[in-house]
Every structure is written in structure tokens, then in C-alpha cells.
Amino acid sequence: MAVRRRPAAAAAGDPPTQPPPGDAVAAPGEPAKEPVLRPPNLIVAAAVAVLFLAPFSYLAFVHYPLGADLRGSILKCGAMSLGGFFIVLKLIPVAARYHLRRRMFGYDINKKGLPTGEIKVPEALGLVVGIVYLVIAIIFQQFHYAEDSIWLVEYNAALASVCFMILLGFVDDVLDIPWRVKLALPTIASLPLLMAYAGGTSIIIPKPLTQYVGLTVLELGVFYKLFMLLLAVFCTNSINIHAGINGLEVGQTVVISAAVLIHNVMRIGSSTDIETQQAHEFSIYLVLPFLTTSLALLAFNWYPSIVFVGDTYTYFAGMALAVVGILGHFSETLLIFFLPQVLNFLCSVPQLFHFVPCPRHRLPRFDPQTGLLTGTKDGNLVNIFLRLFGKCSEKALCIRLLIFQVDLKCHLAADHYLTLLKFCFLTSEDLMN
């Protein structure tokens, strides 16, 4: 989480603004010094990639007898996504220097009182991930979809919504838009998706919930597009408010996108309906490059963060996952994958709607003497975890929250592959430490 400090525009005739303490100022006649970023934490990115992509690869290429054409398309998408991973690794330091020059930086509040809390951390680096993702997705359609493909319209509508959301998210990072306006941004960005959608209007009730609902399929009719709109608004804002510690924003989206990948390949392998298989195949092609580019960002955003992702990334990530779930026809299952975000939103309702006072940053208290975080009375999962389980470091808190994200999926999904995924993630805590 960052505290933004941007210089106000100088009026005509005002004296030149003095740089704040800590700015690197070159002596007259000397070239300006470029800020140097620490190298990314590639060990964490590699460990998470192996833990999440290994089950997906096993299911797609060993367990299920998928067709050769489908496997070939997944390999093509995977190769392009891997290229996107390395491109993001290369571009983030370059973009970070430009952001620092334009004074788009913040200070890490959870390190206040330490030398690391005085370091300028470039903001809104989710812009790099969003641009690289769009380029990969656009190029991939040239290799896979024919000009008369029935999926091409929805594919381009999905990319248009994602692109719109990246733009609006970056505008928010630059202009610091009020919360009441932020709620309207996903509504605007989802318009291309709503106008192009021509699929079914029913939702399948997830198996864990059928005993409570009494239905397996719920027909929404004309209200389905309203459901799509509300889902897009929720996904974008729920990731944005479940944040505040290094690695949490990117980490939760990596976990959700990995669960989406595994769910897609399981549905393809277990279904005999061609349209269902095509919908989940469509979803794989959109979420695989999203996962790999986000892993590259995670390497920079993991504790201690080298860059901040900004609202650009949280809005982009939420919209990308929303369109994947909607066009993949598993929007109801996507809500299960978002269950921690649902809980965080419900706990946050009193403050978000100002029934009780809501501070600007609902963050825990940091003790520079011990390096530990203490929970406050704010109603979000970050503080609730600290109140329930006691003080801990920022990195330990992030890992606990991500394990909770995986744990809920494993309890709600009646499949042993997600249980295996849970086991792999639990054993990864030592690697991340």
C-alpha cells in the first residue's frame, strides 16, 4: 500500500519547487542519476509457477485424453505466455524509472519508521502487465481463431473490456478518483462485453450449494446481463479492497487464475458437450497469459516490494477474471473462487458505506521495534487475521491469507486435484520464507 505524494502544479511566477529530501539530484553539469531497483524475487515466482502449473500440465497432457489440436493450441498459448513473462520482467524496471521521473511513487506505510519506509516505490506498474497481456492475447487470436469463428466477436469484446479497464485504472492512479466514482468504472468498461454477449442466460449452481438452493440450473433470462454487470463490478473492486500488504493483490489473482485453469481443463476432460468444451478452451487462452504475466509482477511485488501494482492492476485483474468466468460460462463457480474476497467485502460493508468511520488506509499498525503488524478494528480480512491469530510479519500475513485463499477452494471443490494443489501450496511456505 502506498501513500501518494505528488507535487502540485506550480502557478505562473511561482518560485521553482525544491526537491524533497532523499531525491537524487545531480550536480550542475553532471548527468541525472537513474534510480536502481533491486532484482526481482525470481525464486518465489518460479516456485509458485511450478506449484500451480504442474497440476494443470498433468491434467491437460497426461490425465485427460485431450485432442492433439487442443493440446497444440495450449502449447502455443503457453509458449507465448512464457515469452510474456520474460517481457514483463524486462519492461518493469524500465517503466519504473519513467514513473519515478513523473513522481508516480509512494512510500510503504507498513515499513514506516524503518529505512525501507523512506524508499520511493514506483506505482501503477500493473500498466506493464496489462499492455503485455493484451498484445499476447491479440497476437494469439491470429494463430488460432479463423475470421468466421463464432468466438471471435466475444474474444475481441473481452479484450476491449479489459483494455478499457486498464485505461480507467491508470486514470484512477493518476487522478486519485473518489470511491463513489470508482464503482462506476467497471460498469463503463464492461459495456463491450455486455453488448457482444450472445450466450446462454442460465447459471449452473455449484454442487456444494445445490443442497441449499434446491436447484441445479437457474434461468435468469433478461436479468443475466445484469448479473454479468454486477459480477464485473464486484470482481474489479473486491481485489482492490483486499489489499494493503506486499504481494497480496498479485498473489490472490495468481491463486484464482490457477484455480480457473485447473477448473477449465477438468471441465473439458469430463464433458462431452462440444459447446462446453469450447467455452472452457476459450477461457484457458485468456487466463494462461494473465497468469504468467502476473507471476512476473509478483516477483517485483513480493515482500519487500520493489514496485506497487496500483489500481491499474487490480482493476485489470478483476475485469480479466470476470470476462474469463462469464464467457467461459462458469461465472457461478468463479464466485466460489472469489469467496475470500466476498467475505472481505461483507466485513467491509459497514465502513465502505460509512455506517462506521472509514479511514483512508485500513491498514494494521506496524511496530518498527519488532517488525510485526498488529490488527486494528477495521473490518477487513487483513486486520481480522491479525486479531484472530496474533501479531506477525507482513510476509507471514500475506502467506497466511494466500493459504486461506487456496484452502477455501479445496474445501468447496470435491476433487482431489485441488486438494493436491492445497498440499503443494502449504509446503511452499518454507520456500517463500
Dihedral angle of Cα 375, 376, 380, 384, to the nearest 10 degrees: 40
Q: Is 284 exposed, middle or buried (0-12, 13-18, 19+ CB in 10 A)?
A: buried
Q: Is residue 419 part of a domain?
A: no
Backbone phi and psi for residue 307, each to the nearest 5 degrees, phi listed first:
-135, 160
E-only strand ranges, 153-301: 202-204, 217-219
For 373, phi and psi rounded to 5 degrees? Answer: -100, 145
The three-class DSSP label of residue 88 is helix
Q: pTM for the full model?
A: 0.88
Looking at residue 222, its pLDDT comes to 83
- Determine the pLDDT at residue 29: 52
CA atoms within 13 A on the CB side of 272: 0
3-state helix, strand, coil in the chain (%, to 5): 65, 5, 30
In which residue are the cell numbers 504468467 written? 292
| C-alpha cell of residue 188 | 463503463
CA 236 from chain center: how many Å?
Answer: 9
Contact indicator for 172, 147 with CB cutoff of 8 Å: no
Nearest to 236 by CA among 326, 129, 316, 139: 316
Using an 8 Å Cβ cutoff, are 394 and 368 in contact?
A: no
Is 47 within a domain?
Answer: yes
pLDDT for 12: 40
CA 32 from chain center: how many Å? 35
Q: What is the rounded distance in angstroms from the CA atom of residue 419 to the CA atom of residue 58?
A: 15
Whether 4 is covered by a domain: the verdict is: no
- Cis peptide bond prior to 115, omega within 30° of 0: no
Report if residue 356 sits inside a domain. Answer: no
- As a whole number of Å, the CA-based R_g of the chain is 22
The DSSP code sequence of 360-426 is SS---EEETTTTEEE--S-SSHHHHHHHHH--B-HHHHHHHHHHHHHHHHHHH---HHHHHHHHHHH
Q: Which amino acid type is present at position 21?
A: P
Note whether 372 and 393 are within 8 A (CB).
Answer: yes
- Grid cell of 220 as nine digits: 435468469
- pLDDT for 412: 56
How many Cβ atoms sit within 10 Å of the Cβ of residue 150? 11
Do strands 217-219 and 121-122 pair parallel, antiparallel, or not at all (unpaired)? unpaired
Contact in structure between 297 and 309 (CB atoms under 8 Å): yes
Q: Alpha helices, DSSP H only, in 7-116?
A: 42-58, 68-101
**Residue with cell string 515499513:** 111
* Helix, strand counts (H, E) of the chain: 18, 7
Total domains in the chain come to 1
Q: Which residue has the cell 519547487?
A: 17
Contact predicate 363/1, CB 8 Å: yes
Can you give the residue range of the structural domain that contains 279?
A: 42-332
Q: Is residue 54 part of a domain?
A: yes
pLDDT truncated to tens, each residue of the chain (433 aa)? 444 444 433 334 444 444 443 444 445 555 556 667 889 999 999 999 999 999 999 999 999 999 999 999 999 999 999 999 999 999 999 999 999 999 999 999 999 999 999 999 999 999 999 999 999 999 999 888 877 788 888 999 999 999 999 999 999 999 988 877 887 889 999 999 988 887 788 887 777 777 877 888 888 888 989 999 999 999 999 999 999 999 999 999 999 999 999 999 999 999 999 989 999 999 999 999 999 999 999 999 999 999 999 999 999 999 999 999 999 989 888 998 999 999 999 999 999 888 998 887 899 999 999 999 999 999 999 999 999 999 999 999 999 999 999 887 665 554 444 444 444 444 444 445 5
Q: Is the dihedral of CA 265, 266, 267, 273 positive or negative?
A: positive
Residue 201 inside a domain? The answer is: yes
Structural domain includes residue 75: yes
How far is 193 from 182, CA to CA, in rounded Å?
Answer: 19
Q: Is 35 exposed, middle or buried (0-12, 13-18, 19+ CB in 10 A)?
A: middle
Question: Are the CB atoms for 136 and 84 separated by under 8 Å?
Answer: yes
Which one, of 422, 424, 427, 426, lies nearest residue 409 by Cα? 422
119 part of a folded domain: yes
Dist. CA 92–CA 297, nearest whole Å: 8
3-state SS assignment for residue 147: coil
